[in-house]
Structure 1
Amino acid sequence: MSIPTDVLGLAGIFAVSGTIHLVRPQVYEPIVPKFVPAHREMVLGSGVAELACAAGLLHPRTRPAAGWASAALLLAVYPANFKMAADAQRSHNTALKVGTIARLPLQVPMIRWALKAARGTDRA
């Protein structure tokens, strides 16, 4: 059984991002919302979660559970993406401002891909 291209893409995104979370956690610490405790630990934990989701998405038997976990993870980290966009608006860098705002709706197709994996179907 082959891996759907969108699910494979999501696994790749999680693998790269999860690795960066573990190797360079200081990149992500500034975007962790203030209400979240233990920023470093949360960044490291989310990196491990991303790597686990990536691995789970690659195997048909674990794909449904990994799909649900991936959707939950994407929803859980959304406040950090929103904070990054809000913080960027104080910058003089127009490309950063636009890029961080444009990135926010990109969570939607990623969540759809995760739900597709969770359901084991071609629909999200």
Structure 2
Amino acid sequence: MDVKTILQYVLALFMVVAGVNHFLKPRMYMRIMPPSLPRPRELVLVSGVAEVLLGIFLLVPATTRLAAWGLVALFVAVFPANLYMAQHPEHFRKIPRALLWLRLPLQAVLILWALWYT
């Protein structure tokens, strides 16, 4: 198995675990959502479903490309939450400020990672 395929499985597993976590700890995800977004609980649950499905579909050859594009869209869609966290560190005192800012370029890494499978 080559490195690209191994990393595809890693990304898929990461997404499925993260998606399931939306259902196990929805309040944690609701806290990071900008207050301007409506229906935070519903958005958390929908994004959790999307993460699980896209992670699974990333491993299905017939749906890999579509899932990868879906992940790109998802990573772009959650960027405002990461930006909100960085701009409002007082709401996230348990997380070091530097980590809040490092989440922003991490989104670019995740987007590039997903683009590898398009």
TM-score, normalising length: structure 1: 0.84
1:3-59 alpha-carbon deviations (Å, 9 max, x no partner): 622222221221111011111100110111122110000000000000011001111
1:35 to 2:46 alignment: no
Matches within 5 A, 1:1-124: 4-88=5-89, 90=90, 93=93, 96-118=96-118
Output the CA distance in 2 between the equivalents of 1:79 and 1:9.
25
The Cα RMSD (Å) is 2.1
Partner deviation per Cα, 1:71-102 (whole Å, 9 max, x = no partner): 000000110111122222x3695962111111
Partner of 1:122: none
Q: CA deviation at 1:110?
A: 1.0
Moved over 6 A (4+): none
Does the 8 Å CA contact 1:91/1:97 hold for their aligned counterparts?
Answer: no
Q: Give the total of aligned pairs.
A: 117
> Does the 8 Å contact 2:85/2:92 carry over to 1?
no
Query: Following the alignment from structure 1 to structure 2, what is the Cα–Cα distance between the partners of residues 53 and 94?
Result: 30
Partner amino acid, structure 2, of 1:113: W
Uncovered stretches (5+) of structure 2, i.e. residues with no partner = none
Percentage identity across aligned positions?
38
